[in-house]
Structure 1
């Protein structure tokens, strides 16, 4: 039967089905995180928790993603993309079902952690697969379109999660995630062939040899430059995200209903930037397009910073500058991720996993800082955004150091 034979192989990378599959695979992680958010207040009542204890349902998930991605990267270089992907997706499906049947909070948080370990494979393997089968230029285009499609997940997931929670109960969100994971697993098994080139393999198997591979990446200015561009782009966003509802409500009297509308505008702006990133790559090379994206993000945030410095931050100034910044972040982020992998194609999996993990860590740091420094006004948030875009430009120039590859 044709369906049972892997058909997405090198040479098929321009097919729309191939791109949609990889976009779904990459987007499964943020989707599974966001779909349960509407159920959190109900979980506090069901498990008799203080509301602040609910953060562990999110933080355990983020921890699992961050810890698992470098491991996934090493494994898919050593054993191949396909087996690591299939095994990890199976773990995600089983952990999602585990979330449905557990009866205490500790086990639910544990299953969330296991969910994240399994689904963390999506971003790593999709980027490695694109690098395997594409030139650097075409890989950047493909990953830009994947980033655009990924932006849909965090928008629709809370809406769908809220409907499922009200209609079928909190377990239904986890069950739905498991079903989606099972469908992706089925398609991966039936249609995705192994794409890892024979030359791509982490040599040796001792801890010391593996450690040297990662230290080589960490010592590469180009790899770290691209990775930190992505991380500080995320930092610009995460400096805003944790306190945005409070700022909108207390400072500008914007309620939850309208905040959802404005959040959709920001998400759409990022997706639009990712779309234009792919289009621009048809004419310009990766580094020129990345420079344009980073520069636009820097200028838009600088305008916001100067407005705050001179005391003239109105709602429209805040919304417009952040919306424009999200557009340029949408251009820059997928290109930075492409650069971190394509500079070392012989370690595509390891580079993909490590860059994703480090980038997430930088973004999480800004999230923690803005939550700690928040004083009820937009000031600390804007100052941290200014620090983040300064980091973006410094990392951009680091990425131009072509002295040596990692390893």
Structure 2
């Protein structure tokens, strides 16, 4: 593969991966305007974010088998078309209930891009390069939290929040064209792959029974839920508690995202010397310590606005190491069922993210402090660390048992 082709594939796959976070981040600064226009409040509008997470989680379980049965491109094109039409529907929404439903449908289309891009990384690149590729994709994805809130803030302020979804519609059209003409079919359709419930269930079960997948997919998903907790809780924390403007919020969001992006690129360099297994353990332990300091200090009023920003920046920087390594380690055991594995991994991420975002929205209604956001973030880090340490121990014991059996048989 030539360098130019390699770069071109990374850009398109990155755009597919970035569609979901761009759809999330771009309309966050418009929450106050949406709430006012639809005669609701920010907490109710935040449920449209939760419905998006639920849609992406549920939809990925649908697209995984379709990608293994019909190849990668056809389901991807259909999903992007659904996303495009749902985005147009969001433009016309006249109630917060309608927006919540349309965001769910939008997510069902969007998740095709998420699953396909992850599966195509496994298809198109050597296994040993997957962590580096995911780190490079994180650079493209990282443009979302830097650009999307800024664009959304200015668009909402000067044109109105409806234009946010007009821009998302145009973005989907561009990505659909790029995927149609620029991506190869990385996995031939498999007519023997059954779409009946029984075989699909067995395919998913075979993925779940792989301890490396279970350990690293759950670790990455719970840690990702911590990130989405920040995304869901940040409008309330910064716009309502710290009283920043929509434009200032956009700049803050971009600044904090720089930690995630920068860490992802440092991770790519660190992989030359260290293994993914080493990096993810160190990053998660560090993130857990930071999260506990954040929730304790902010709840007791020991830090203000600046201290909160610094600790969240550090928390997100750790996530830049966790996500690419967790993704690569989760997908490494699979080639034949890469679509199903990708779907399960994505469903776990967005499903747990949806639960975390709903928890933040509900807690914010009764506790008007930073605790709903910082408390859930700390809980996610603690749980992810517990699963990682327990799971890696199980993997080591399993590998040792296999080695002993091989020696005995020899």
TM-score range, shorter chain: 0.7 to 0.9
Q: Structure 1's 244 and 29: CA in aligned 2 closer, same or farther, altered over 3 A? A: closer
Give the structure 2 partner of residue 182 of structure 1.
173
Unmatched 5+ stretches in structure 2:
400-410
What is residue 357 of structure 1 aligned with on the other side? 347
Q: 1:363 to 1:201 in 2, by over 3 A?
A: farther
The separation in 2 between residues aligned to 1:36 and 1:180, in whole angstroms, is: 14
Rounded Cα–Cα distance in structure 2 between residues aligned with 1:372 and 1:216: 36
Pairwise CA RMSD: 3.2
Q: Which structure has more helix as a fraction of its residues? A: 2
Q: In the superposition, relative to structure 1, how do residues 202 and 128 fare at CA in structure 2: closer, same or farther (>3 Å)? A: farther
Partners of 1:49 and 1:376 in 2: CA distance: 18
Q: How far apart are residue 331 of structure 1 and its match?
A: 0.8
Structure 1: which 5+ runs fail to align? 1-9
| Change in CA separation of 1:83 and 1:33 when aligned onto 2, cut-off 3 Å | same
CA contact (8 A) 1:201 1:346 kept: no
Q: Deviations over 1:363-393 (max 9, x none)?
A: 3333333444453444565444333222222
Aligned in 2, Cα 1:245/1:28: closer, same or farther, shift over 3 Å?
closer
> Which of the residues 117, 121, 124 maps onto 2:112?
121
SS of equivalent to 2:272? coil
CA 129–280 in structure 1, closer or farther in 2 if over 3 Å, else same = same
Match of 1:136 among 127, 132, 146: 127
Change (3 A) 1:166 1:310: closer
8 Å Cα contact 1:240/1:385 also seen in 2: yes
Instruction: State the partner residue of 1:97.
Output: 88
Q: Assess, with a 3 A threshold, how the Cα gap between structure 1 residues 143 and 44 changes in structure 2: closer, same or farther.
A: same
SS in 1 for 2:187: coil
Aligned pair in 2 of structure 1 residues 117, 241: CA closer, same or farther (>3 Å)?
Answer: closer
- Aligned residue pairs: how many? 393
Per-residue CA deviations over 1:322-366 (Å, capped at 9, x if unaligned) read 222211111111211222222222211111111111122223333
Give distance in 2, aligned partners of 1:262 and 1:108.
26
Calculate the TM-score normalised by the size of structure 1. 0.84
Equivalent residue, structure 1, for 2:404: none
Aligned pairs for 1:158-307 within 5 A: 158-196=149-187, 203-244=193-234, 246-247=236-237, 253=242, 255-256=244-245, 258-304=248-294
Counterpart contact for 1:13–1:130, Cα < 8 Å: no
> Which residue of 2 is the match for residue 20 of structure 1?
11
Q: Is the 8 A contact 1:238 1:363 kept in 2?
A: yes
Which of 332, 343, 346 is the equivalent residue of 1:342? 332
Is the 8 Å Cα contact of residues 53 and 351 (structure 2) preserved in structure 1?
Answer: no
Deviation at 1:77, TM superposition (A): 1.2
Assess, with a 3 A threshold, how the Cα gap between structure 1 residues 212 and 297 changes in structure 2: closer, same or farther: same
Q: Distance in 2 between matches of 1:155 and 1:348?
A: 30
1:147 correspondence with 2:138? yes
Deviation readout 1:129-148 (Å, 9 max, x if unpaired): 01112222211101111122
Q: Secondary structure at the residue paired with 1:16?
A: helix
How do residues 364-379 of structure 1 correspond to structure 2 at under 5 angstroms?
364-373=354-363, 375-379=367-371
Q: Does 1:64 align with 2:55?
A: yes
Q: 1:34 aligns with which of 14, 25, 29?
A: 25
Partner of 2:406: none
Measured in 2, the distance between the counterparts of 1:394 and 1:173 equals 40
CA distance, structure 2, for counterparts of residue 371 and residue 109 of structure 1? 14
Residue aligning to 2:312: 322
